[in-house]
Amino acid sequence: MPKVTIAQNILAVNDTVAQEIQQMLATRGIRTINVMSSPGAGKTTLLERTIERLRGELGIGVIEGDVETTADAERIEAAGAETVQINTRGACHLEAHMIRDALAQLELTRVNLLFIENIGNLVCPAAWNLGEDTRVVLTSTTEGDDKPAKYPHMFAASQVMVVNKLDLLPYVDYDLAKARRQALAINPRLRIFEVSCRTGAGLDEWCAWLTAFVHGDSNTVCKQSYSSAATARGT
Ligand SMILES: Nc1nc2c(ncn2[C@@H]2O[C@H](COP(=O)(O)OP(=O)(O)OP(=O)(O)O)[C@@H](O)[C@H]2O)c(=O)[nH]1
Ligand SMILES: [Mg+2]
Ligand SMILES: [Zn+2]
């Protein structure tokens, strides 16, 4: 029991920092998306393809979270977006204080869409509020179609699901309808995009949604109303 109390205190402190971040970003007119997935589902690739398509239209910034290396930040910079790398040196999720420190290093003047690429992990990132406006969970056809059912908290705590690597469907046992059905059973309001970052399939729809999201279209606004502490308690 004492351990649970400590964990919830840590999450409550995290929520306070996250609220400060959310207010600061809202004041600057920046919309923020926390991108989560298992390792290798294609988070960085989706961001690269998105930046290539939208950089003329939107000011995109990226906070890259990885346990080690600056490889993903280098890829994002090469794609043409403002970026800063967080190395957690072992930690398996990002926390709000890391985002606060990273934001101090980002040139935000021209940014109106900020992505946070979380650590590859379908479990604990769901419990940590980072001050984002919305959460995107990415899953890919090579991981199996049972991920929503096996990791329900991640899908319950997200507003958007992107299924990536559609180009590999002929080679893997992945039932798109089953994944969609399982995800919607957990979270009926989940917005679903099915894409291939390899072929570009589905990216027009994804980018159109992002543009509307940045411009505040009410159908795309899915501001989170939960807290990290409440998520951890399962309430
Ligand atoms: N065939 C195929 N491969 C893809 C697609 N999207 C990404 N990949 C490949 O999947 C691998 C992992 O992609 P990343 O974008 O690095 O994945 P990530 O989720 O950022 O990985 P971590 O940051 O390590 O968690 C790379 O080899 C990509 O080229 C896709 O749509 N189709
Ligand atoms: Mg990555
Ligand atoms: Zn973790």
The alpha carbon of residue 202 and the mean position of all alpha carbons in its chain are separated, in whole angstroms, by 18
Query: Residue 10 burial (CB < 10 Å; 0-12/13-18/19+)?
Result: middle
Ligand nearest to the Cα of 47, by number = 1
Only one residue has tokens 């890829």, namely 75
146-159 average pLDDT score: 98
At how many degrees (to 10) do helices 71-79 and 43-54 cross? 20
- Sign of the Cα torsion 126, 127, 132, 134 reads positive
pLDDT tens, residue by residue, 55-106: 999 999 999 999 999 999 999 999 999 999 999 999 999 999 999 999 999 9
Q: What is the structure's pLDDT at 233? A: 43
Q: For residue 31, what is the enclosing H or E element?
A: strand 31-37
pLDDT tens, residue by residue, 176-206: 999 999 999 999 999 999 999 999 999 999 9
149-166 average pLDDT score: 98
Ligand nearest to the Cα of 73, by number = 2
Ligand 1, CB cutoff 6 Å, lining residues: 37, 39-45, 66, 72, 120, 164-165, 167-168, 196-198
And the tokens for 158? 């997200």
CA distance 140 to 187: 18
Question: Model pTM greater than 0.95?
Answer: no
Question: Does 235 have pLDDT greater than 50?
Answer: no
CA distance 25 to 18: 11
Q: List the domains of the chain with CATH numbers.
A: 2-42+112-233 (3.40.50.300)
pLDDT tens, residue by residue, 23-53: 999 999 999 999 999 999 999 999 999 999 9
Q: Collapse the DSSP code of 133 into the 3-class scheme (helix H, G, I; strand E, B; otherwise coil) and give the result.
A: coil
And the tokens for 179? 């994944």
Ligand 2 ion: residues within 5 Å (CB): 43-44, 72
What counts of helices (H) and strands (E) characterise the chain?
Answer: 9, 7
Confidence of residue 217 (pLDDT cuts 50, 70, 90): confident
CA distance 76 to 51: 8
